[in-house]
Structure 1
């Protein structure tokens, strides 16, 4: 998401209750303050519809692959094929977002995703879907997403002033959670009465709804991140608009705080965020629980994520230091969770673990989307998509190997110590560098 450069003027009329209120000399930290902007409210509604449609489709997607191929391996392959463009083409997709008008890019990419969903629905309805077509559709979806992801993220931030960006990101996180619940619940009903193709058709309609809303969105006063007007205007481009994707990568690599953010997030993603795997094995293994017990743990994690999103929405200017501190705190909680003697103790620990993780995610996303200059934000998100896809693909096998060697408890404890140790070492090195800088100046 892009960050505006100045706060929008306060307008008492039309505000949501409790959102956007300011007292003299005191900054506004209301969790829902981003929703005082009309365009942000419409954008959140569009995202809710889109997320519900996407999760409706995802709920039946694996089942569809199994029905078509009869192979669990093919199901995993389809997911990898869809993720591959993010790894290989993420930077180019981000460069396209920086070069093209943002609203047009978001609307066109949403319409393209709708076309893919409708095509899949038609092929399913007429029984013309086979493995080759499935893989092609998965690859096309992944390719479109390399442009759609950063375009929609940055467009959302154009709708609020700078200090409200954390609130906008946190609201987006909550919208994602609600959409996931609604879409998953609706999938069973839709498939039971209308068939698998209906889930894809519904997702296509959700994409079209977003595409229809985009043209009516208005950036917040002072927003300077969107390149829409400049990109659409005739005449020569400014020098910075001609920057290549490679120069965007170079900017990322030369920016220590972005490299540090990538390191912290990558370690956390590999060793600290795969709770669906580590906690499932811990609950059903050493703690002697069943599927119902893990369901309870998953529910507590979800509740903690929502609580964390509400708290994170009160942030105004998060930093990489805050992200590192939260990552280390979450890692230490993970260590203790790995040593839990009972399910009751684990349940007490997973709530703050989820809260810390959610706040850290919002803080990190805010830094990532607001730190680069406006004309480079798409490319920075493109770099991020590539590296996050890499650790997303490599993380589960590495964690699985660690669990084979050390067990569920050992994986949680070792992973937590690795994260906390790396963050601590980074803080020490940074402190030494800052101390040495004046002496060498």
Structure 2
């Protein structure tokens, strides 16, 4: 588990270096917030059609081999992008194509790596392992966003893509060293006779708590939480912070995310109610952030936003990976990837167009307020229905 966590720390730092640079690169090449939103959406687009198949494949294929090969594929894409950027041949169209390829590989890589990390510990320690993974992710985000500004300023944007490629190779090199218990329980319980992914879909439909999580995640994603897009536009636009200001905000987001993951990790059994509460509070914080008159005030508001976002993400991940029986974990994660792709596709373009038409401040404030209000109304309706007549 220590080897796995260290490798993922390096990988997450590389991923956030690339993502931070790519957002700024698309903005510079196109000058369009809508196109930047489209680039974010295209990375998750393959999950809409292939998420179910990817999750089912993870349940059937050798886990370590699947995870290692997917890391090598992602490294190849990152190195290819670095070459195009360094040679000056990169265009927005090429970046979008490479983004789609990354999303295709991620339909298998995501559930494979998530389940691989969980299988390294006893079942009762899975919630703690997920929390450790969230802390590693947030720490990597902090390091990656901080290093992105340095690399871009000193070595150019291509260096961030090359560094990300090396980070994928780091994970691939560690995977053969992991001692993974035999997944006999999963194999015995997996509904192999069912058509691909049907077991995961059927299970998901029968679990109200999973459906409630999907509704909350969709609400937050469509109306906000795409901070790589919205805060980049706010900082570099109305607040005139430039790349340095965006790097500072991104670093604070990562720092708050680490704190949120630590807090969520103390909850052995997070509930849907907790996710609803932090979603509403995060929406309220986002509304205030949209009205920030200065970069300093925005940085202060970003801290609770990041804490709440990370707590919600960690709680959702824990529920998704501990609710289903072992033989359906990959299928349930694949189902979630397909569902989350719907709002992942809708959110960034919607927010990009909204910012183009109404301004970034209005988009952030209105989206955050609508999120908080919707959760409050939903909670009130459910509470009234549950009261005895």
TM range (shorter): 0.7 to 0.9
Give 1:331's aligned residue.
283
Shift of 1:320: 0.8
Shift of 1:43: 0.7
Q: What residue ranges of structure 1 are gaps of 5+ in the alignment? A: 1-39, 221-225, 232-236
Q: How does 1:15-26 map to 2 (within 5 A)?
A: none
Give 2:214's aligned residue.
262
Q: Choose which of 74, 93, 97 in structure 1 pairs with 2:58.
A: 97
Larger RCO (alpha carbons 8 Å, 6+ apart): 2
Distance 1:139 1:408, change over 3 A: closer
Cα-to-partner distance string for 1:178-216 (whole Å, 9 max, x where unaligned): 334444555677678888766555433332321232233
Residue range with higher mean Cα deviation, 271-280 or 124-133:
124-133
Q: How does 1:74-153 map to 2 (within 5 A)?
A: 81-118=42-79, 137-153=98-114
Distance 1:117 1:358, change over 3 A: closer
> Aligned equivalents of 1:381 and 1:193: distance in 2?
40
Structure 1 residue 251 and structure 2 residue 199: aligned?
no
Q: How does 1:176-215 map to 2 (within 5 A)?
A: 176-184=137-145, 200-215=161-176
Q: Choose which of 267, 276, 280 in structure 2 pairs with 1:315.
A: 267
Distance 1:300 1:92, change over 3 A: same
Given the two structures, how large is their TM-score scaled by the length of structure 2?
A: 0.79
8 A Cα contact 1:102 1:227, kept in partner: no
Shift of 1:42: 0.8
> Aligned equivalents of 2:255 and 2:143: distance in 1?
15
Cα-to-partner distance string for 1:114-160 (whole Å, 9 max, x where unaligned): 34445556777899988887666444332111000111011111223
Distance 1:307 1:96, change over 3 A: same
8 A Cα contact 1:334 1:416, kept in partner: yes
Q: Choose which of 357, 361, 366 in structure 1 pairs with 2:318.
A: 366
Distance 1:282 1:360, change over 3 A: same
Shift of 1:353: 2.9
> Aligned equivalents of 2:246 and 2:92: distance in 1?
34
Shift of 1:340: 6.0
Give 2:13's aligned residue.
52
8 A Cα contact 2:41 2:346, kept in partner: no
Q: Secondary structure at the match of 1:324?
A: helix
Structure 1 residue 167 and structure 2 residue 128: aligned?
yes
Structure 1 residue 376 and structure 2 residue 340: aligned?
no
Please identify the structure whose Cα radius of gyration is greater.
Answer: 1
Distance 1:303 1:265, change over 3 A: same
Q: Secondary structure at the match of 1:241?
A: coil
8 A Cα contact 1:55 1:184, kept in partner: yes
Distance 1:116 1:431, change over 3 A: same
8 A Cα contact 2:218 2:343, kept in partner: yes
Cα-to-partner distance string for 1:81-103 (whole Å, 9 max, x where unaligned): 54331222111111111122222
* RMSD, matched Cα: 4.1
Structure 1 residue 240 and structure 2 residue 191: aligned?
yes
> Aligned equivalents of 1:91 and 1:212: distance in 2?
28
Cα-to-partner distance string for 1:369-406 (whole Å, 9 max, x where unaligned): 21122122212222222222222222133335555676
> Aligned equivalents of 1:381 and 1:278: distance in 2?
27
8 A Cα contact 2:20 2:228, kept in partner: no
Given the two structures, how large is their TM-score scaled by the length of structure 1?
A: 0.71
